[in-house]
A and B are shown apart, each in its own frame.
Chain A
Amino acid sequence: MEQTLPLSKSVRVRQNIAAGLLVATNLFWLVAAPLQLVGVNLMAIPFAELIVGLVFAASWLLLCTVASNKAVRVASIIIIACCLIKLVMPLIANVVCASLPDLSEMDRMNIIGKINLIFYMIRAIFMVYAYSLILNSGSEIDENDRSWIVVLIVFMAQSIFLFRWLLAGTMLVWSIWIVAYYILMLIAEFRLAKCAAFTGNYDSGIVPKGAYSPLNRYFAGVLIAAVLVSALLMLIAHYREAIENIF
């Protein structure tokens, strides 16, 4: 990782703490996923999800203070907002359900599931925008670090694919992917925290023209893949029984 300017000690410390916190949150999920296979549910620990979410938000708060320009700072704020809204989502879902009278437990679960699904889609779109903003911010991020930020964009697209429930058929298959996913996420978020976009020396004037526009190749890639994958998954959902009978 080449950085053109030597970092001050304060920036380096904040960058390292943020990177460490991001690695810690991913390590938690990385350990939690395979443990579920053997019946150990780390999410059952009281406030586990809340604590992990707050650690993630704290790491981005630190990164926000060392943003190299306005676009990166805006991106950091979007990511923090997405994270905080995610933390209060169970509360919002429960309030919505409470406002609807005479709901059976099944209906309540369905509504909560749909609210979560829509929220995760919107959140993914905002996160893709935030990451694309960092890439377009004019910071001198090297090619290798850029490719890792692209990995984060790619993984965010997962929440935009429709018919994702088809994926949850075999626990072993899902666990293999989840382990690979969190290992790549861990590296990607570490590289993002250490990239040239978070080197301090805040300069509000260097954002290139059009950096804030969502009409970029990152959104194009996500949109095209989301349409293709959703269409294919819809086909599979339609012919599900026939496929199962053939094999």
Chain B
Amino acid sequence: MKTWFNPFIKSECLRTRARLTSYLDCELSDKEQQELKLHLKSCQSCCEEYNSLRQTISLLQHMPEIRSEHTFRIDEKNVTKKTCDRKLLILSRTAAVVAIILVLVCIGDLGHLFTPTGDSPLGGQFWLVRGVELGLLVALIVLISCILVELHRQRKR
């Protein structure tokens, strides 16, 4: 019974057409591939759709390949220099931030902001402040040494 208005047939065709590309690429399960294959054998219009999609893909595949006259390469010297420059930039920025914090803490310390007897709410943090100052100083020395080593390496190159 071939009836174009049969809702079952129509939905079957719609379902098939929605999966035709996957069918062409063999990206369906074995069961689904088999179902579609059977449907295509029995349905003329779906078969035409299938052939037209196949032709479209074939046309795309036969498009000529593009070739460039340029050869893409990463330039070793440039890359190394850029990496070193970036490293130096990060190191010097971090050193600058650490130095600023250290200066601020030292100013606060000189202004008796952290003294135990002061009226300041930060009073009583004396040893903690000394520890922070020392830590910042060590970090700053390490960072400056790293910058000097990096500069020395660059000069060697």
Whether A and B are associated in the same complex: the answer reads no
Interface residues of B (CB under 8 A from A): none
